[in-house]
Structure 1
Amino acid sequence: MDYETFIDTVSQRAGVPREKGKDLTRATLETLAERLTKGEVEDLASELPKPLKRHLISPTPEARRFGLEEFINRVSARADVSPEEARKGLQAELTTLRDAVSSGEFRDVMSQLPQEIRELAGSSS
């Protein structure tokens, strides 16, 4: 999936204008980079369009542990949107990632996230 299609898909799924979709994408990927191990962040980045890779920079080798509410709060603050918009954006981002990367890579990403986030992505395994 190319960059433009990725952003358009996130925007459409979140029900927001394209510019807000870009902000939600950036904020969600930055937060994912904190929540995943550095190796997993690098693996995910390798399967995404170049403009999205710059948002996937792991601040530490270890994953930071936080749940859905903290994830939503971080996305909300980074994208300057309400928590409800951040939740819709997170769901749109995760389902778009599922479509954009290999099934194995998506499974690897989901394996590092808590159940409540996996459920939001429609992936309970």
Structure 2
Amino acid sequence: MRGKTPLTSERKALKVDDNEFIGLVAKRSGTSSEQATAVTRATLTTLAERIDGGEARDLAGQLPEGLRAYAFGSGETAERFGLDVFLARVSGRADVDVTQAKDGVTTVFDVLREALTPEGYDDVVSQLPAEFGEVADPTAPFVQRTRG
């Protein structure tokens, strides 16, 4: 279960390059580097569609250089869709089933939480509906999930 430790502005963003970011996603999700890459890219692309253009640019600016292009949205206005559509888009883009997509998205958000400034992460998550708390909890530290 996730804890409820609040973020403070004292926490610094984790400095990683794109290979380290993908490596963290792969390790924490128990998947291959190839699948972690696909899910990370699909998550960032779908997230960029779901948040406002300015916020997508801010997100991209905090990402490792090799991942920035995936976080640029197609417009200034966010598309309004829920978690089910988000997961379906990630599933299709990454060529994984929806359960794998949800696990991957959760892991990507965990790594994003560490890689972005607290304010940057909070700005992104604040644009998502409450149901996204299933995959993106800004108050919880990383906890290794058991698969079963």
* Band of TM-score, shorter chain: over 0.9
Larger CA Rg, structure 1 vs 2: 2
What is the rounded CA distance, in whole Å, between the counterparts of 1:15 and 1:117 in structure 2? Answer: 22
Tell me the SS of whatever aligns to 1:55.
helix
How large is the RMSD of aligned CA atoms in angstroms?
1.1
Alignment deviations for residues 15-55 of structure 1 (CA, whole Å, 9 cap, x no partner): 21111000001100000010010000000111111110011
Question: Is the aligned partner of 1:24 residue 2:52?
Answer: no
Deviation, structure 1 residue 73: 0.2
Question: Is the aligned partner of 1:52 residue 2:67?
Answer: yes
The structure whose residues are more often helix, as a share, is 1
Q: After the TM superposition, which parts of structure 1 deviate over 2 Å for at least 4 consecutive aligned residues?
A: none
User: 2:143 matched to which residue of 1?
Assistant: none
Aligned residues: 124
User: 1:10 matched to which residue of 2?
Assistant: 25
What is the rounded CA distance, in whole Å, between the counterparts of 1:45 and 1:32 in structure 2? Answer: 11
Q: Percent identity?
A: 42
What is the rounded CA distance, in whole Å, between the counterparts of 2:132 and 2:29 in structure 1? Answer: 16
What is the rounded CA distance, in whole Å, between the counterparts of 1:121 and 1:25 in structure 2? Answer: 14
- State the TM-score, normalized to the length of structure 1: 0.95
Question: Is the aligned partner of 1:82 residue 2:62?
Answer: no
User: 2:85 matched to which residue of 1?
Assistant: 70
Deviation, structure 1 residue 13: 1.9
What is the rounded CA distance, in whole Å, between the counterparts of 1:119 and 1:19 in structure 2? Answer: 24
Tell me the SS of whatever aligns to 1:16.
coil
User: 1:114 matched to which residue of 2?
Assistant: 129
User: 1:92 matched to which residue of 2?
Assistant: 107
Which residue identity does 1:12 align to in structure 2?
K
What is the rounded CA distance, in whole Å, between the counterparts of 1:17 and 1:71 in structure 2? Answer: 22
- Structure 1 unaligned residues grouped into runs of 5+: none
Alignment deviations for residues 50-81 of structure 1 (CA, whole Å, 9 cap, x no partner): 11001112111100011111100000000000
What is the rounded CA distance, in whole Å, between the counterparts of 1:12 and 1:36 in structure 2? Answer: 27
What is the rounded CA distance, in whole Å, between the counterparts of 1:54 and 1:39 in structure 2? Answer: 14
